[in-house]
Structure 1
């Protein structure tokens, strides 16, 4: 081990890098997002779907987030979409990423989530609702 008579001269650049790295990594990206709407999933058509869902607004646009408590019992071809008094196929966001846990979906730029009061998990193949969350 080599000990410099002026250890701070060697440590200063490293300390500065560490400080910058820590500053840039904190806080998490979603900390500055504004929650626009939120709700909780319930199952449909005999399926078990549960967990929290939020719509957040940030610099990059709106994001649909499923909470870490999200759970879905499974079915073929599950998709995520919005609705207003029912599923709206024109709002299809994409396939469900996972049957459980936290996940997020970028809301397409031309789709304004303010006009919808539901988030759907929909079986596209059989045109059957799997779960829905009322969002306010």
Structure 2
């Protein structure tokens, strides 16, 4: 089901389906490395789940279908530890305030080194939502 959701999203959104098919073509090549549920920060409402998935071509962050952000200027994604966002891990802008989304995580980010996934407001340098990864 997870594989089907990702492929459906990528086809609808027009994202690189060939890349997606390569990355998750084999169920055995894709595993959930970590999962968490967002909690809002800085007076923002951020909810839903996030999974960090290891694929044959690297890691992806999957904001699950229940993901929602109440809105903010310049929301971005990245990682952190112990309540502190690591600005070196900022890797993409958030494309939508809600729903299923898939983002490739650059190879230079060691996802195993982080215990939190952030929706971060780059304009004001504040967290909008944080998910503890397990």
User: TM-score, normalising length from structure 2?
Assistant: 0.78
Give 4+ residue runs of structure 1 displaced > 6 Å after superposition: none
Q: Which residue of 2 aligns with 1:37?
A: 34
Please show how residues 80-95 of structure 1 align to structure 2 within 5 Å. 80-85=77-82, 86-95=84-93
Please say which structure displays the higher CA radius of gyration. Answer: 1
Change (3 A) 1:111 1:71: same
Unpaired segments ≥5 residues, structure 1: 1-24
Tell me the equivalent position of 2:131: 133
* Alpha-carbon distance between aligned partners in 2 of 1:30 and 1:39, rounded to the nearest angstrom: 24
Partner in structure 2 of residue 124 of structure 1: 122
Q: Which runs of 5+ in 2 are unaligned?
A: 1-20
Secondary structure in structure 1 of the residue aligned to 2:50: strand
Corresponding position: 1:51 with 2:68: no
TM-score, with structure 1 as normaliser: 0.77
Give the alignment's Cα RMSD to 1 decimal: 1.5
